Structure 1
Amino acid sequence: MGDRSTTMRHKAYQLRQTLITLVLNIRDALVSGGPLVIIAVALIVAAYWWLKPNPPSEVTLATGPAQSAYAGFGDQYRSALGSNKIKVNLEASEGSFNNLQLLREGKADLAFVQGGTASLTDEDLESLTSLGALFLEPVWLFYRTDAAQRLNKRPQLTSMTQLAGWRVNVGTAGSGVPTLFNQLLEANHLSPKQLTLSQLTETPATVDFLAGKLDAMVFVSAPESLMVQMLLQTPGVQLMDFPQNEAYGRKFKFLTPVTLPRGIVDLAANVPPRNVHLLASTTSLLARDDTHPAIKQLFAQASQNIHSNAGWFNRARDFPNTKSSELPVAQEGVRAINEPSPWQQRYLPFWLANLVERMWLVLGVLLAFMLPLSRIVPPLYQFRVRSRVFKWYGRLRAVEHEMEQPDSDRAGIRAELEELSRKVEKITVPLSYADELYALRSHIHWVLQKLNMQTQAAPAQASQGPASAAETPNAPAA
């Protein structure tokens, strides 16, 4: 029972010493490396504040009129970014020109804008950027067959010069179509005054057109537009063919000659009954230059899924591209369109992948800066641990020096040495530094033995007389 009790006491003592050592080691490690950690955290916080890696939770996208192709694409972008906890507010507008104005005024962060909508200013080049060309939007000029027969004595239009005297709706000023149509008229030596032009929105204009109050209507829209598909299949309505579309494409850099293939609308009904030559404007996704880079990246990546399918005027993966945009394409758009997805986005949640991507350079610089500084931590830790032992050597040396004085108080010195021994007994250090602790204890014991020897030798020296005392300088005076 006695052996078992002794063993348990030893284990309890060892456990207590281990816990004390652990706590002291943690304290020394914190004190030694704490300043370095504080500096690192402060630099990371400063970099985070400066870079603002997390994007805003809401963003505004300018689209277009209700039920337009722009509105439909806006819904798809809202759904795509919603999966990453980004709320997309859709700003309805009259069209492309209106969208450009919203961007300029800061009322929208991103917008769909057709090429040739308006002349881009130097300020636009500085404040706006493109995320890539998304799709082609043909110039749809629908006319009534009976109007062509009545006004031109033939059922079909073959040139824009034949529009003189026609009632034509060119859409609202905010759509940008009036500006584009006036350029086409000027190229054909026609004045807008030679036509009766109206600027109704699509739905009222279509009602008047089908009722015979308008002879023709012009709008620019993606083929996904329900209005386009309806008019292409309406009896008595024809789509104007532009046989000179190649010449238009050379004359206007923002126009692309395209062909609407025969039967693309309805193969069974053979709609249209022949290939139709058209002009198309390239629509890009523009963003304000101060829009958060992560938002630009998300929109550019979403465009890959939304606009990469084959269409009436393009093959699969022709869009999005970085070749057809009037404005320079942002780096986020270039990477999303022409490069594979970053590895971190394939394996990490968006917020974490974005944080890593935005902060990795800062973390690299911080690591290069902190590594040399971290070399002072081990010596500083070692110094703190050893100082628990070495700080007592100064007191021990002072006691020994006092002990050598002729008039020293040996009783007081003995009490001081015993007090010093008791305090040293309570010192705890890691096992790797235990030799220094035991060396200190040995030195205290050695000084105490030396004091005992001097105390025993003192009576003998006193009995030998003054001469002997004079021969022993370190001995106290009789």
Structure 2
Amino acid sequence: MQGLLAWAIRHWVLTTAALLIACAALGYSLAAPAPPREIRLAVGAAPDSAYTLAAEAYAARLEATRFRVSKVPTAGSVENLRLLREGAVDVALVQGGIAGRDRDAGLESLGAVFHEPVWAFLRADRGLARLADLRGKRVAIGPEGSGTRVLALAMLAANGIGPEGFEALPLGGPEAAAALRAGTADAAILVSARVEGTIAALMRAGPEVALADLTDHADAYAAQLPFLVPVRLPRGGLSLADDLPPRPMTLLAPVASVVVREGTHPQVVSLLVSIMREVHRARTPFAPEASFPNTLTQDLRVNADAERYYAHGQTVLQRWLPFWVAVWAERLFTILLPVLGIALPLIRFGPAIYARHMETRVWRHYDTLRRIEAEAAAAPDGAARQALRDRLETLEGLVARLALPASYRRHIFALRRDIAYVRAKLAAAPGEDGYAPADATAAG
């Protein structure tokens, strides 16, 4: 009995240890690896562009969280997508209407962060009022690799003007504005979320340069180019003092989105979305406060971890602990959860199993004591009773040598008391205390 129980306990201990190790291994396999320490971030070439300013704000906050940030200068959205596909950068801003779910299947969006209105400035002194008037004209549409160029070509194509129908000037920003004011360009199509700088300068360029008002055709553009949404520029929206613009105007705008590669670490995604909320929550000339970031009008599939963040916010640990502390705490919790699922029942039932083992070490001697007591009733002669006394002495010696914790020694004392009781019966004369001689019945 004792050997069987000891074997069962050893088997239980080994099985429990194996289960705990297996559960820990399972938890480790389920836990995401630690986030990378370095993030490669695409940064625009123009120092005052919305892309550059946003990327610099991201970089500053990532570095404050003890990431190493590598800034990769790029020409714009097209190059950003290429670098993302090639794995040369990890995070980049991409203009709406540039990416495609089939071509860019390995990329995911973390959400839109701001509108980027299209500013189509035309030489009004040459009779140009609409994009449809630009056939055969010189139009600054941005350099190769820029999102501005892709969007300008799409808008001109919507007006029936293909790439061969006008002279494309690879100028953007200040260079495009300078060419337009100098008369070497008939029009300049700019995409910019910032109204300061180049946009403000062209709005003040004089009557020879005019901003195209798309109010009458905004719905038609949005129908043909669904990534564009109408945005309103109110009268005096750029300058109340100068009454710029002098009347309300409608522009079209894609949204700029933060794009990452598929498989980006979930905690990096959570951190980036929290940074996006911090940087882009403020109101803009084209959106009220807290409009961005959001997951509307996305060319790419939205990252699942980003969607969870938008739905539920940061985890409790990320909300109250520094980023890297929260990272390791969440990984440890993921590893320990399966272990606790096994350990808690063991903690609950383990003491009971241990107590039974301790008590069984005493109780097994009762089998011997009961046999001695039963044999004593049928042992009338002195020699047989002496042999039973010797067996009792041996049993008591075994019991005396039992090593049990103090809380279980009461069982030893109880057993020794019962041994003394049986010894007292053996000391009585045959026929006393319930014992009868073997031939008592026959003698009667």
Identify whether the pair has TM-score above 0.5, normalized to the shorter chain: yes
The aligned residue for residue 212 of structure 2 is 240
CA distance in structure 2 between the aligned counterparts of 1:416 and 1:303, rounded to whole angstroms: 82
2:36 is matched with 56
Aligned-residue offset at 1:73:
0.6
Structure 2 partner of 1:71: 52
State the 1:436 CA deviation: 0.6
Corresponding residue of 1:191: 162
Match of 1:217 in 2: 188
Asked whether the equivalents of residues 37 and 67 of structure 2 are also in contact (C-alpha less than 8 Å), the reply is yes
Alpha-carbon separation, structure 2, partners of 1:224 and 1:50: 48
Q: Is the counterpart of residue 47 in structure 1 residue 47 in structure 2? A: no
Structure 2 residue 160 is the aligned partner of structure 1 residue 160: no
Listed as ranges, the matches of 1:359-374 within 5 Å are: none
Shift of 1:74: 1.1
**Aligned mates of 2:342, 2:74 — CA distance in 1:** 51
Write the mapping of 1:91-106 to structure 2, written as runs, cut at 5 A.
Answer: 91-106=72-87
Once residues 23 and 195 of structure 2 are traced to their aligned partners in structure 1, the CA distance between those partners, rounded to angstroms, is 51
Match of 2:118 in 1: 139
TM-superposed deviation, 1:49: 2.9
CA distance in 1, matches of 2:328, 2:364: 48
| Cα separation, 1, equivalents of 2:159 and 2:307 | 38
For 1:438, the equivalent position in structure 2 comes to 413
Contact 1:32–1:381 under 8 Å retained in 2: no
Q: TM-score, normalization: structure 1?
A: 0.71
Report which stretch shifted further, 233-242 or 215-224.
Answer: 233-242
Distance 1:88 1:136 in 2: 26
Compute the displacement of 1:225 (Å): 6.3
SS of the aligned residue for 1:377 comes to helix
CA separation in 1, counterparts of 2:136 and 2:410?
110
| In 2: Cα distance, 1:293 partner to 1:429 partner | 51
Shift in alpha-carbon separation, 1:298–1:318, aligned structure 2, 3 A: same
Comparing 220-229 with 182-191, which one deviates more in the overlay? Answer: 220-229
The equivalent residue for 2:401 is 423
Counterpart residue type for residue 221 of structure 1: S
Output the amino acid matched with 1:240. Answer: A
| One-letter amino acid of the structure 2 residue matched with residue 319 of structure 1 | F
Structure 1: segments with no counterpart, 5+ residues: 1-28, 458-469, 472-478
Measure the CA separation in 1 of the matches of 2:328 and 2:21.
16
Secondary structure of the structure 1 residue equivalent to 2:401: helix
Instruction: Give 1:374 shift.
Output: 5.2
Select which of 245, 250, 257 maps to 1:284.
257
Task: Report the 3-state secondary structure (helix = DSSP H, G, I; strand = E; otherwise coil) of the residue aligned with 1:174.
Answer: coil
Q: What root-mean-square deviation, in Å, do the aligned CA atoms of Structure 1 and Structure 2 show?
A: 4.2
| Residue 385 of structure 1, aligned match among 352, 358, 361 | 358
Cα separation, partners in 2 of 1:387 and 1:85, compared to 1, 3 Å: farther
Alignment of 1:168-317 (within 5 A): 168-200=139-171, 202=173, 204-206=175-177, 208-209=179-180, 212-223=183-194, 226-234=197-205, 237-243=209-215, 244-317=217-290
CA distance in 1, matches of 2:293, 2:316: 21
Structure 1 distance, partners of 2:195, 2:13, is 63
Structure 2 CA distance for aligned equivalents of residues 258 and 305 of structure 1: 23
The alpha-carbon deviation at position 203 of structure 1 amounts to 5.3
Whole-angstrom CA distance in 2 between matches of 1:107 and 1:393: 78
CA deviations over 1:21-50 (Å, ceiling 9, x no partner): xxxxxxxx9998786466335413432333
Separation (CA, whole Å) in 2 of partners of 1:398 and 1:190:
111
1:115 matched to 2:93? The reply is: no
Deviations 1:199-221 (A, max 9, x none): 24545555555555444332322
Is the 1:114–1:282 contact (alpha carbons within 8 Å) kept by the matching residues of 2? yes
How much has 1:254 moved relative to structure 2? Answer: 1.0
Task: Label 1:278 to 1:449 Cα distance change in 2 as closer, same or farther (>3 A).
Answer: same
Contact conserved, 2:101 with 2:299, CA < 8 A, in 1? Answer: no
Q: Is the 8 A contact 2:31 2:334 kept in 1?
A: no
Of 404-413 and 177-186, the range deviating more from structure 2: 404-413
Alignment match, 1:20 = none
1:80-91 counterparts in 2 under 5 A? 80-91=61-72
Change (3 A) 1:418 1:279: closer
Instruction: Indicate if the aligned counterparts of 1:135 and 1:319 stay in contact, CA closer than 8 A.
Output: yes
Q: 1:224–1:360: structure 2 CA closer, same or farther, 3 Å change rule? A: farther
Amino acid at match of 1:435: R
| Residue aligned with 1:59, SS | strand
Cα shift readout 1:158-184 (whole Å, capped 9, x = no counterpart): 112332343322112211322222222
> C-alpha distance in 2, partners of 1:104/1:139?
26
The answer as to whether partners of 1:130 and 1:329 remain within 8 angstroms in 2 is: yes
- Give the Cα–Cα distance (whole angstroms) in 2 for the partners of residues 419 and 369 of structure 1: 41
| CA pair 384-207 structure 1, distance change in 2 beyond 3 A | farther
Cα distance change of structure 1 residues 422 and 163 upon mapping to structure 2, 3 Å threshold: same
